[in-house]
Amino acid sequence: MGWRNYLRQFLRDLRSQKLRAALTLFGLVWGTASVTLLLAFGEGLQERLLKNIRGLGENIVICWPSQTSKTWEGLPRNRKITIKDEDIDALRREVPGLTGISGEYSNDSRKFKVGHKVLVPGVTGANPIFAAMRNLIPRTGGRYIDDLDMDERRRVVFLGDGLKKDLFGDQEAVGKYVNVNGVPFLVVGVMQKKEQDSSYQGRDTDRASIPATTFRAIYGQQNYGNFVFQVADADKVEIAKDKVIATLAKIHRFDPSDSEAVRMWDVTENEKFMHSFMLGFRIFLGVMGVLTLVVAGIGVSNIMNVVVEERTKEIGVKMALGARQRMIVSQFLFETMLLTVLGGAIGFLISWGICAVFPAKLDEFVGTPVISLQVGAMTACVLGVIGFLAGYFPARSAARLNPVEALRL
Q: What is the mean pLDDT of the chain?
A: 85
Owning domain of residue 371: 2-53+272-408
Least confident of 22-26, 101-105, 163-167, 344-348: 22-26
What's the mean pLDDT in 348-353?
89
For 387, the enclosing helix (H) or strand (E) is helix 373-399
Comparison of pLDDT for 404 and 282, the residue scoring more: 282
Residues 159 and 261 in one domain: yes
CB atoms within 10 A of CB 85: 14
Q: What is the number of alpha carbons within 13 Å of residue 24 lying toward its C-beta? A: 27
Q: Are 269 and 172 in contact (CB under 8 A)?
A: no
Query: Is residue 394 located within the same domain as residue 279?
Result: yes
Classify 110 as helix, strand or coil.
coil
363 and 215 belong to one structural domain: no
**Average pLDDT value for residue range 36-63:** 86
CA distance 258 to 209: 32
Q: Do 282 and 249 have their domain in common?
A: no
Same domain? For 214 and 319 the reply is no
| Same domain membership, residue 216 and residue 103 | yes
Helix (H) or strand (E) holding 98: strand 98-107
Same domain? 214 vs 354: no
Say whether pLDDT at 14 is over 80. no
The confidence score (pLDDT) of residue 315 equals 64
Higher pLDDT, 5 or 280: 280
46: enclosing H helix or E strand = helix 18-54
How far are the Cα atoms of 109, 112, 168, 184, 189 from residue 116, in angstroms, in the given order? 18, 10, 11, 15, 22
DSSP β-ladder status, 98-107 and 112-114: unpaired
What per-residue confidence (pLDDT) applies to 282?
Answer: 79
> Tens digits of per-residue pLDDT, 232-268?
888 899 999 999 999 999 999 999 999 899 999 999 8
Mean of the pLDDT values across residues 185-205?
91
Looking at the fold, whether 17 and 65 belong to one and the same domain comes out as no
pLDDT in tens, 95-131: 998 999 999 999 888 899 999 999 999 999 999 999 9
Mean pLDDT across 272-277 = 83
Domain-terminating residue out of 237, 268, 299 = 268
Q: Tell me, what's the pLDDT at 151?
A: 95
* pLDDT confidence tier of residue 1, bands split at 50, 70 and 90: very low
Asked if 246 and 341 sit in the same domain, the reply is no
- Final residue of a structural domain among 224, 248, 268: 268
Number of domain units in the chain: 2
**E strand segments, 246-286:** 262-266
Q: How much of the chain exceeds pLDDT 90, in percent?
A: 43
Q: What is the pTM of this model?
A: 0.73
User: Of 215, 248, 268, which residue is a domain's last?
Assistant: 268
pLDDT: is 107 or 305 the higher one?
107
Instruction: Give 169's contacts (C-beta < 8 A, 6+ positions apart).
Output: none
Task: Examine the pLDDT at 367 and tell me if it is beyond 70.
Answer: yes
Instruction: Provide mean pLDDT across the span 287-315.
Output: 74
Whether residues 221 and 283 share a domain: the answer is: no
Judgement on whether residues 42 and 70 belong to the same structural domain of the protein = no
Spatial contact of 200 and 369, defined as CB atoms under 8 Å apart: no
Asked if residue 308 and residue 211 are part of one domain, the reply reads no
